[in-house]
Chain A
Amino acid sequence: MWDLIQSNKRKSVALIFFLAVVLIALGYFVGFYIAPGDGGLYGAVAAMLVWTIMMAASVGGGEAILLASSGAREVDHNAAPQLFNIVEEMKIAAGLPAMPRVFIIDSDVPNAFAVGLNPKRAAVAVTTGLLSRLNRDELQGVIAHEIGHIANRDTLFMTLAGVTVGAVIIIADLFLRGLFYGGGRTRRSSSRNEGQGAAIMAILSIILAILAPILAQILYFACSRRREYLADASSAQFTRYPEGLATALEKISGYHGERLQISRAVAPMMIINPLAAAGSSTSIFSTHPATEDRIRVLRSMAGGSSFAAYDQAFRSAHGDHGVIGSATLRGVSEFGVRKPSDEPAANASQRMRSAKNILHNLNQFSTIACSCGLKIKLPPGFDRPSLACPRCGAQHVVPPELLAAAAALQAAGGTPGRPPSA
Chain B
Amino acid sequence: MIALLLIVGVLMVLAVMVIAMYNGLVVTRNQVKNAWSQIDVQLKRRHDLIPNLVETAKGYVKHERETLENITKARNLATQASGAGAAAAGKAEGELSGALSKFFLVVENYPDLKANQNFLALQEELSSTENKISFARQFYNDIVLNYNNKTEQFPTNIIAGSFGFKRAEFFELTAPAERETPKVQF
Residue positions of A touching B, CB distance < 8 A: 1-2, 81-82, 85-86, 88-90, 92-95, 237-238, 240, 330-333, 335, 338-339, 341-343
Contacts and interface: CB of A to CB of B under 8 A. Distances in A.
A330 B182 contact: no
A297 B142 CA distance: 23
Contact of B125 (A1, A81, A95, A237): A81
Contacts of A1: 142, 146
B135 A89 contact: yes
A338 B143 contact: no
A148 to B, nearest CB: 13
B186 A343 contact: yes
Contacts of A343: 186
The list of the 4 closest CB pairs from A to B, nearest first, reads A85-B128, A331-B149, A93-B135, A92-B135
By CB atoms of chain A within 10 A, which of B35, B135, B185 has the most? B135
Given A81-B121, A339-B181, A93 B138 contact: yes
Nearest to B134: A338
Interface of B: 31, 35, 38, 42, 121, 124-125, 127-128, 131-132, 135-136, 138-139, 141-143, 145-146, 149, 153, 181-183, 185-186
Given A88-B132, A89-B132, A89-B135, A339 B124 contact: no
B124 A95 contact: no
A335 B149 CA distance: 16
A330 B152 CA distance: 12
B128 A89 contact: yes
A142 to B, nearest CB: 16
Given A88-B132, A92-B136, 12 more contacts: A2-B146, A85-B131, A86-B128, A89-B132, A92-B135, A93-B135, A93-B139, A95-B31, A331-B145, A331-B149, A341-B131, A343-B186
17 contacts: A81-B125, A85-B125, A85-B128, A85-B131, A86-B128, A89-B131, A92-B132, A93-B138, A95-B31, A95-B139, A330-B149, A335-B138, A338-B182, A339-B181, A339-B182, A341-B131, A343-B186
B142 A330 contact: no
Tell me what chain B mostly uses at the interface: helix, strand, loop, or mixed.
helix
A92 B183 contact: no
By CB atoms of chain A within 10 A, which of B35, B141, B142, B186 has the most? B142
A341 B89 CA distance: 25
Contact of B124 (A82, A237, A330, A335): A82
A82 B131 CA distance: 12
Nearest to B147: A2
Contacts of A85: 124-125, 128, 131-132
A392 to B, nearest CB: 21
Contact of B183 (A86, A330, A332, A339): A339
Contacts of A90: 135
A94 B139 contact: yes
A332 B146 CA distance: 9
By CB atoms of chain B within 10 A, which of A330, A335, A341 has the most? A341
Contacts of B143: 95
B87 to A, nearest CB: 22
A333 B144 CA distance: 12
Nearest to B184: A341
Contact of A338 (B35, B124, B153, B183): B183
B105 to A, nearest CB: 12
Nearest to A338: B182
A137 to B, nearest CB: 11
Given A2-B146, A89-B128, A92-B38, A330 B153 contact: yes
A307 to B, nearest CB: 11
By CB atoms of chain B within 10 A, which of A81, A82, A85, A89 has the most? A89
Given A95-B143, A341-B185, A343-B186, A240 B128 contact: no
Nearest to B31: A95
B72 to A, nearest CB: 24
A343 B124 CA distance: 10
Contacts of B35: 95
B183 A341 contact: yes
A336 to B, nearest CB: 10
A240 B183 CA distance: 12
Contacts of A92: 38, 42, 132, 135-136, 139
